[in-house]
Structure 1
Amino acid sequence: MKDKMTEYSDSKIIIQRSDSSIIATHFPCSCIKDKENLTILCNRNVFEQNESQPDEILTRDKYSVFYIFKKGGENMTQTKFLRSSPGPNTDDLCVYAKKGTSVKEALERDGRFVGLEDFKLCEAKTESTESKTPIKYTESTERVDNLDQKKFKIGRERKKFDTKSVLDAAQKSGISVKRAMEETGSKVRPSEIYKILCKQFQDLKTWMESRFPGDSYQKALKLKKQDFGKIQQSFSEVHRVRELLRLGGSVCLLKFNAFRVTVQGTGFLLFDNFILTNAHLFKMCTDLPSDKWRERVKITGTFNYENPNCDSNKEEFTAKLCGGCDIGRDYAILEINQTAETGEAELPPGLLSRFGRLPDNGEACLIGHPAGEVKQIDPTCIIPKKETNPAVRDHIFTLHSINQEIRKDPYADIYVAYNSFMYGGSSGSPVFDAHGRVFGLHTGNVLFNSGKPNESSIEYALSLLDIFENFVKELKKRGNKELLERVKEAAKGNPYLKQIIDRLKTEEPMETNLPTRSEAPQ
């Protein structure tokens, strides 16, 4: 027998008392009756797992000893709460605990129970009290002091059916029905869900038939698969991902505070200590003269905000509005304040030298801080201008016809459109192509009429080459030769920027010859 026992660890040993109940291997001897017989059995599976250190053995009066039936009670009949089965020769487990200990602490320390969340003890009825007395419950947080020699079943409180509150919570928070059930503590009736779906089906069928006549649905689905395949292929190669992550180091979270209003946005390092972002982030200052913006607007920013649980890598700074701010073309240039302290910090590389043409189609990738959250990447696909109308029709409700808005906008030729999950707070994000060139400044969108403020049908980016050309023209107009030379130095090696600079040397008018936004028809 001794040789056979050595094959089993303590975690597989079952000790049975003379009353057939099972005790833990750490059960104190002071709680065992004199001359009581104990039967030691060997289990094939782990029955007990106790990692706590053994305590000093106390006298019997310092403990409460109670019993837990191996079969679950109310709402626990199908739930596993024992590490493994104690076998057919017993009905209950004998548990001990120091007085003053809670029920939950006692069962957790015991080592034979698992998955005990939100439970309670239901006092087991005897045959004589089966129908005479109501069930008494002991909460898991109660002390064990009054449980000595009593028998219990482990149970749970029955969840109430409240389909409406669960669905309302799911819709309001944008979470799954399963998660809403967990958070509300209620259940849904499948029959009620079925009725709701049946009511919606006819409207859905009518809409689908009007939207996809004939076999157009299969054709549209095929095009979507092709677009997804292109995106996946372009941004699945490791070297492209690494390059995007490196370039994304130049992207920063921005916060603008004025008149007790805080606006969040995104920007990226242009060159030296200058940042490019959208001018519409200063909308709270529309009625304020531009020469007053510097003193009224407080600008702070953060590089490397990528992990919400780690502050060690974040690099925070303050900035001020530079002379380059064009409300019409919706861009602003910020200058990071250089102090004795921050001047020593090394800034990430600027993206000016990576500027490229505005593509007509193909893959794209945004890097930004939507809703002021950690930095995120969103691969997408550019919507060719001739396909803008079908893209709009991909959504059943819209506030505006995007195509009509573009026709009214004299700046339509300097836009590129795409779908993206990037919403409020991501304005000012750089938009890259599949080759790592940055071509756009993520700027605007058109919202659904769906009651969800963070959804939009089509997003837009402004041409960075157009912004650069306008910025250089403004520097020349103001006679800021020092900053102009710094711009030229940072633009060296980029053929697109060189072409713009060379053309503007002769002070020729810009090819687009567009009016300012204030002059553009509304």
Structure 2
Amino acid sequence: MSFSRYINLHLIINHLINFIQKCHVNVFVCDCFSKINRMHQRNSNSNNKEKEIVILRSKGNVLRAAVKTDFPCCLIEKDEILKIQFINNNGNASTEQKPTIDDTSKPETLVTFYIHTTGGQKKKLLMKNRNLRLKVEDVCVYAFKEEDCITALKRDGRFIDYIFQKYCALSEMDSETIYEMSIPAEHLHQKHFQVIVISDIDLPDSQNALGITKTESDSTLELRTKPKVQNFFREEYDKSVQSFSKVRKVKEIMRLSESVCQIRVEGSAPVKATGFLLFGKFILTNAHVIKNFDPFTWKIHDPIKAAFGFEQKSDKGNVTVVSVKDTFAARHQGTEEGNHFDFALLELNGEIPETFPRLLKSYAKDNCTATGEVCIVGHPNSEVKKIDPCFIIGRGKRQKVEIEHVSENIKFYHIMTQQSMKEKWSFSKNQMTYNSCFFHGSSGSPVFDRKCRLIGIHTGGFAYRGEGKIRSVMEYAYAMQPILDKIKTLAEDKNRTDILEYLNDTNNYLNMTQKDQEMADVSGSQIEL
């Protein structure tokens, strides 16, 4: 857009008065109204003092879109004519003519987008002044790039409160793209939308679907309609299955799965989960699995056993069951510097065959970034060992998945919001997300990338109960490197030299060069955790 030092205001009152008012680009349209107001007041044939001013643009992607009187002059195009009209105010819309922001000296920080004055099927009336919908088809809204759409629409002041209280979205005109209203405004620039109602259920305080992705802002956060979303899932899932269906990959995963065990917590409230041999006689699982312990001494009050080879219920003879020592070797559950931890390192009492792989040997120290495809090995639903190939949901795609899940399960929306507020659903920087069929019993499962490298520990999901069964928006794991760093710190504090020997010996980690050569046939882009 090229900016002139003035704008041409073409005033129309009763189709009689026309003139040009010269205004500086760093002011607002209402600052140029002194001459308009004087002429307006002298016009004895009109009584427009309490009427709403409608300013129609002659340029832009949507012609004749109405702007407010606080519209920044720097966004008016060179030689653009503004046609000013007056409409009756039904009492809901403001007639004030004053700026709502302080600074417009940097037009590069501002964007504009267009909203149809008639909403979708569930809510036709969007404007506070119903006469505005009868007079113009579209309004032009300005916003700062970094602020969300809701903030811009509230500042605009022409829209009814309903669209901020219900689960609404922006449907781009002439396309199949739907945007959540919490999206940063920079992604809406020069686009034309209709407001649609996804659900008329009251939102708590935010337009963000569940609050999970409210801090996500590092990509275009747009939602495709169902056919396109379904294609996205289908294509990504097919690639995941294809990657792990190669015979050599399957064999490697099967070999590594020998280290995966079922954690059996006995006692008055028995629990079953998953763990895996990390190094030596130490197995890693989730801290939340074991609840009955002394937080000061780390002494575990319930007996625990690890069952290796539980792959068929009728074949118990091939299951190796080993008891676990009654004190944590290391444990941490909480958040530090943006990383969330939920791990427990347990030490086995008995000997484990050396043929069982230690998965630290499958971890490339400081060099494991999650790729598109991952594979989880564990004991979901406390059953026999299973494998689930799935794909990482990158940071930029999490909001798509969240909104799509809500729209497909809208009858559970109230339950989801209650659960999200109760558990304070959010993301940490060491968290990777995916869609998996692994639920209860699979906590503590190892997560492998497309090169069969250990990258994380499966921990849980954003779950809720609906119609008698557990449902989940998405599942997640925590990356290995922060966990290993924390184990090392705890081992130093506890003077566990045996653990430190394993962690400090580079021979216990994956030889990257060798592994990369073995897996060189696999290619693909990396997705940041």
TM-score (norm 2): 0.49
TM-score (norm 1): 0.49
The structure where helix makes up a greater share of residues is 1
Greater RCO between the two (CA within 8 Å, min separation 6)?
Answer: 2
Bigger radius of gyration among the two: 1
